[in-house]
Structures are given as C-alpha cells and as structure tokens.
Amino acid sequence: MPASPPATRIRRPRWRDPRLVVGLAVIAVCALLGARSLAAANDTVSVWAVRGPLDAGRRLGAGDLVRREVGFVDQVDADRYLSARSALPAGSVLARPVGAGELLPRSALAAGTAGPVTEVPLSVDAEAVPATVHAGSTVDVWVTTRTAASGERTPAARPSTLVFDEVQVLAVPVSGTSLGPTATRQVSIAVPADKRARLSRSLAVLAAGDVVLTVRR
C-alpha cells in the first residue's frame, strides 16, 4: 500500500501577518467613513424661511418668518441664508419678492435698511425715474426748484439740490391705468435715522421743485 501523506496542522494567523493587518485597516477605514457620513447627515443649520409670499419693499417682522432646520453641503452654502440663531436685523426690507416657504437668502434683503427708517413718498415725473429703479435700489434724490424771473414768461431753473444721498427704495408701484401710463410715478424711499433731523427742511425743498432720481451703482 502507498504511504499516507503527512498530516499538516492549520496554523493560527499571527498579528504580524500582513494580510490580517491590511484587513483590519480596511475595516477601520470603512467604519470611520460610515460614522462621518452618518454625522454629516445629522448636521443641520437653523435658518429663517418666510411663512407666505411677500412682495419687494415689504419690511420684515418676526411674524413673517418661521425657523427651518436644513442640511447644507458646506458652510459657504449655509452662509448665504439668514441664520435663525440670531434675531432678524431691525428694519430689514425685501429687495425682491419671495415665495411661501422659501428660505430667506441674505441677497433678498435691501442693503442699508437695518435700523429704524422713515418711509417717505416721492411724486416724480415718469421721465425722471430711471427704468432700472426697483425696490432695493440705492438712489440719490435731487430737486430742481424754479423761480419766475422778471420779464420772462418761462420760469428759470436754479441749480439742482441734493436732498437725500444713498437712500434705499422701498417700493415703486406700477404706474398708469388701463387707459394708459400716468405722467408721474410714486416712489417710496427709506430715510435712515441719521438723515431724519433735516427731514422737515428736505420735505419743503421736495415740495418746491421737480424731483429727479439718480441710481447708485
């Protein structure tokens, strides 16, 4: 009879076995990546959203907003929206319309409207309002007063006066009716607290002349 082959013993894997070390390393990396993915999925940021549709020129209040927990890809994305961890800046005005449930981006707020403001309506000749003016625009308000010179049939125009500089437009209602456009347009501007002291004089100047708006870029 042929001799039986010699029996071999199964060796236990040793900690120094490279295959075992590589396998453990792969398992550890997979576990770490999985834990990070789960943690990222649970990371949310509290931001403000609007309860209902709002028009441009609307001054925001606490009742217009609702808190939402949102997961963003990175911090840069999150920083584009108003954080609900702090209160909305007082006097915040919308520069564009926002829809119901829309997250409130910082870009939707008119610049320079934080803080108390006085809303002042202006009656402006339609041709004296640049076509690009909209709620949120920054404008300068000029007035040209006219006086009747002796011996002249046409009143003489005085140099224009800068009444308000760098003020925010709150609203520009659509001008005209079904019968056609009107000759004048009403434009509402926000006069900040630091310009309110001379408001009485400014209103008198506005009433005495022709108003012209120029747009800041």
**Domains of the chain by start residue, with CATH:** 43-112 (3.90.1210.10), 117-215 (no CATH)
- 82 burial level (CB within 10 Å; 0-12, 13-18, 19+): buried
| Widest distance between CA atoms in the chain | 146
Read out DSSP for 170-199? EE-PPP-BTTB--SEEEEEEEEEGGGGGGH
Q: What is the pLDDT of residue 106?
A: 82
Q: What is the pLDDT of residue 166?
A: 86
Radius of gyration of the chain (CA): 33
Q: What is the pLDDT of residue 41?
A: 47
Q: What is the pLDDT of residue 19?
A: 65
Q: What is the pLDDT of residue 164?
A: 92
Q: Which helix (H) or strand (E) holds 45?
A: strand 45-50
Tens-digit pLDDT string for the chain (217 aa): 556 566 555 555 555 566 656 666 677 666 666 556 545 545 788 888 999 888 777 778 888 889 998 888 888 888 888 888 877 776 677 777 888 889 888 878 765 555 567 888 999 998 899 988 887 788 999 998 766 555 555 556 677 889 999 888 887 877 655 555 567 888 988 888 778 888 889 999 998 889 999 987 7
- 25 burial level (CB within 10 Å; 0-12, 13-18, 19+): exposed
Q: 140 with 208: CB under 8 angstroms?
A: no
Please tell me the distance from the alpha carbon of residue 8 to that of residue 10, in angstroms, as a whole number.
7
Q: CA torsion, points 12, 16, 22, 23, in degrees to nearest 10?
A: 30
Q: What is the pLDDT of residue 143?
A: 93
Q: 130 with 120: CB under 8 angstroms?
A: no
Q: CA torsion, points 88, 69, 73, 32, in degrees to nearest 10?
A: 130
